Chains A and B, each alone.
Chain A
Amino acid sequence: MTLTEKILARASGRSRVDAGDNAWANADILLTHDVCGPGSIGVFKREFGEHAKVWDPKKIVIIPDHYIFTSDRLSNRNVDILRDFAREQGLPYFYDVIDDPNGRWTFNPARGQLNRQYGSRYQGVCHTALPRRGHARPGEVLFGTDSHTCMAGAFGEFATGIGNTDAGFILGTGKLLIKVPETMRFYLEGELPKGVMAKDVILHVIGDIGFDGATYRAMQWEGSGARSLSIDDRMTIANMAIEAGAKNGIFPADEKTFTYVDERVRENGTKSDYDPVELDKDQKFVFDKVYDLSKLEPTVAMHPNPGNRALAKALEYVKLDRAYIGSCTGGKTSDFVAFAEVVNGRQVKIETYGVPATSEVVQELKEFRLGDSAVWDVLVNAGVMMTENASCAACLGGPQDTFGRLNAPLTCISATNRNFPGRMGSKESKVYLASPYTVAASALTGHVTDPREFLS
């Protein structure tokens, strides 16, 4: 069996499942956020009753992150709905925006978008925060009401996005009927060359198979190249499985995974035991291809979809109005450090927005140094508008007053993960997806730029 089949067999109490089987899988964690949480809670109450209790409070993780720093009344209310539910159900893993468990959340526009407006428990983007708060473990099943839930596949677990109705069902029963996907294997060899990042790997592969090339399938990453990648890199690659239409992406767990996971569960006092699945000799794939990482070059997905691939160096003619770095895949500490390496001591030429994925990233950027300055200061001194308000922000447009939103038909290069028409705001805008290196180099020149010329 493949990794996905092995996990789903175990989660459904069977010795074996095959691709195409329907299986009732037990959930280890259900993740939700402010956009889909209120609706999932609504479904749960409608179907199980006003006073129903969730199946297991310790297995529910609620991370508000999407529409937080906005004056939109409904968005602020949605955070309050989550808080009320967490209190009523006694949920230990609700990462609230404010500290007062009986308070109401209201964003204060008078304090501006840049300065921190959250309390001590607030995290930011759910997929980046989930493993860091000790909720990702090898061999487990994670369901989340967000399509990029597949990011946790980086930790050797089955992780997939679901809708509110499915989530409401899990809240009450702890399980879900799912179809076991076929597996495609991506066998990586070599190591990433200078100037090339995980984002380039996944954009290259999606360009190869098409942005519906993995529909209904699992994308399994193996080989010495996969082992050479850092946890952050694996997260970026697993995250974007959905941009090829996949059900999940998955990396085998190795020493790097165990070190990361063990440290995080210890630090956060979350469940520490887990049972990873190992690679079988006999696995059935519907697709199997070798990729040499050392041959890859800085890659861009052009408007209007993540499969519309080109090399950065071939797009120098594309003039840009804006650059954006942030999101679950582009807003990690390592992403900002890479960005800072390129812009260090230089000035951006176009408006450039920086949104750290989580509050912890904000902290780290202020602590970590590049030469004599903190990474945060390097970015600000280069002219990047950095906000402390970690969230999804303009990655998915959001309400009109969202930080960095494309409110006009602009052309933007972005370190985010999706670029369908209107994704970041105006439906006439154009978004080019690229690695933090490429976004940084392009911010310096005002057109799409291969970053290697800025990296010594």
Chain B
Amino acid sequence: MPKKLTSPVYVVGDDIDTDQIIPAQYLALVPTIPDEYEKLGSYAMVGLPSDLYPIEFVKKDSMKTEYKIIIAGKNFGCGSSREHAPIALGAAGVDVIVADSYARIFFRNSVATGELYPYESKERLIDSVKTGDVATVDFDADTVEINGTVHELKQMGDVRPVIEAGGLFNYARQSGMISKS
């Protein structure tokens, strides 16, 4: 696990649902097929209404995003159980989300896949931060620094060892729940 990550951030509002993260028309792509995994990444966040989000998350003709950190409001990832959502973000190159709160299944899928770190912030950040600002997440201190201010993040508790192991399967192997193969 990296100790720190520095990247420009992409800022979204409250209640970003999975249809906005990866619209249903792209769900026929199967995440475990490598080409289709890459494609899912290129469609990450295309469901955001363009009038509210004029800056593209993934630039046209690109497969990856330049924003490795997303700053979000409450209830991020609500809606469907599609694992395509954290996977699309992970495939696009996102490593960390810092949100006020998450919908249950999105949070769980992020942990199970080990695709990204779903951090919760102690205070609401989206009102004071804008897309393109540069942030540094410190994984040891559980903080994020943006525009010179350090904000505390909630510790991930129980699920942190799962993410650090690289997802549910590695964790289960390490803890002897399933045999090592």
Contact = CB atoms under 8 A, between A and B. Distances in A.
A163 B28 contact: no
Contacts, number: 150
B122 interface: no
B101 to A, nearest CB: 7
Contacts of B86: 163
Given A172-B178, A245-B104, A163 B25 contact: no
A78 B84 CA distance: 15
A433 to B, nearest CB: 14
A165 B30 contact: no
Contacts of A421: 17, 19-20, 47, 49
Nearest to A244: B78
B103 interface: yes
B79 A418 contact: yes
Contacts of A422: 19-20, 23-24, 47
Interface residues of A, number: 58
A141 to B, nearest CB: 16
Contacts of B19: 396-397, 420-423
Contact of B112 (A67, A75, A166): A166
B108 A163 contact: yes
Question: Chain B contact residues (Cβ within 8 angstroms of A): what range?
Answer: 35 or more
A397 B23 contact: yes
Contacts of A245: 75, 78, 103-104
A247 interface: yes
Given A67-B27, A397-B25, A420-B20, A36 B83 contact: yes
Contacts of B1: none
Contacts of B25: 397-400
B117 to A, nearest CB: 16
A38 interface: yes
A169 B178 CA distance: 10
B113 interface: yes
B38 interface: no
B47 A166 contact: no
B83 A163 contact: yes
B49 A427 contact: yes
A165 B28 contact: no
5 contacts: A162-B105, A169-B112, A173-B178, A215-B75, A420-B79
Interface of A: 22, 24, 35-36, 38-39, 41-43, 45-49, 66-67, 72, 74-75, 77-78, 81, 145-147, 149, 161-166, 168-169, 172-173, 177, 179, 211-212, 215-216, 245-247, 305, 396-400, 418, 420-423, 427-428
Given A48-B181, A177-B177, A421-B17, 9 more contacts: A43-B32, A45-B32, A75-B28, A165-B168, A169-B168, A172-B178, A211-B78, A212-B75, A420-B79
Q: Which 3 A-B pairs have the closest CB atoms?
A: A42-B32, A163-B83, A163-B109
